[in-house]
Amino acid sequence: MATTSEILSIDPDLVAAVPPSLRKAAQRACLAGVKRIPRGEWEPCGEGPDRGGFGLLVVSGHLVRRVGRDERFGAELLGPGDLLRPWQTIASAASLPFEPRWTAITPVELAIAVQMVDRATMRSRHLAVAIAIVQQPRIEDRLLHLLWSYADRWGTVGPEGVSVEVPLTHGVLAELAAARRPTVSTALGQMAKAGLAERVDGGWLLRGGPPTGDPRPAEAAASPA
């Protein structure tokens, strides 16, 4: 069941480019239906979204998008602020079809048919960074860079460190890091002993500051944040 909400009130970053004198009017005008998705596997293509818009904006919660064959997957983590078009695939025209699978690892709210190109561009940049991260040869480096990249987007600073309230299991992190689950579990245990990252209720706690190496592509690293 979908409800209607003022998107600029839910996601205030989107109103940054609007002159202050027009912001209240813009908030009232930018309405979108918000659909709630329960935790678990999600089949988006049969739900009949408004395909005239640019896509669905993640308002709250987190999803994992997996693409692969024969139980070997590449994975992407999506959360608040990400824009997606889950009904758009290349499977029908591809020589090697890789159908995506979607899993909500928390309950998710999606704003329907939101017209925002900037968010689509930012998602492609985040994905490029994730691809660069999984090229790191050491699994500990991959995991630390991934967790800190999520902290930049969804983390909160507290007295003990930076909290990333995303329930990432060892299995999900293994897919995101393109590694085997036992290898990831061993690496996370070593990272916990070193005081770098610790699994806590509802997510992860990062300590000691982000890694000093920059895994981003040269173009992205040279661009201002």
pLDDT value of position 222: 38
Least Cα distance to 172 among 204, 217, 207 occurs for 204
Residue 162 lies in a domain: yes
pLDDT of residue 156: 93
Q: What is the DSSP letter of 181?
A: H
- What strands, in cross-sheet order, belong to the sheet with 72-78? 40-42, 100-104, 63-69, 72-78
Is residue 21 included in any domain, yes or no?
Answer: yes
Same domain, 22 and 94: yes
Q: Is residue 41 part of a domain?
A: yes
| Rg value, the chain, Cα | 18
Judgement on whether residues 89 and 8 belong to the same structural domain of the protein = yes
148 shares its domain with 111: no
The β-bridge partners of 205 are 163, 198
By the 10 Å C-beta count (0-12 exposed, 13-18 middle, 19+ buried), 145 is classed as: buried
Closest CA to 133 of 148, 113, 119: 148
Average pLDDT of the residues of the chain = 78
Same domain, 166 and 80: no
Q: What CATH number did the domain enclosing 184 receive?
A: 1.10.10.10
Same domain, 52 and 151: no
Domain residues for 182?
Answer: 137-222
| pTM of the complete model | 0.70
User: What is d(CA 58, CA 55) in angstroms, rounded to the nearest whole number?
Assistant: 10
**Chain-centre distance for alpha carbon 47:** 22
pLDDT value of residue 48: 47
Q: How many domains does the chain have?
A: 2
194 and 105 housed in the same domain: no
Q: Does 173 map to a domain?
A: yes
Supply the pLDDT for residue 130.
Answer: 78
pLDDT tens digit sequence for 25-37 = 777 767 777 888 9
Q: Specify the DSSP element, H or E, that contains 66.
A: strand 63-69
User: Do 8 and 111 lie in a common domain?
Assistant: yes
DSSP state of 209: -
- Residues 40 and 70 occupy one common structural domain: yes
Nearest to 83 by CA among 113, 61, 108, 103: 113
Rounded Cα distance, 223 and 221, in Å: 6
Residues of the chain below pLDDT 50: 48-49, 52, 94, 215-225
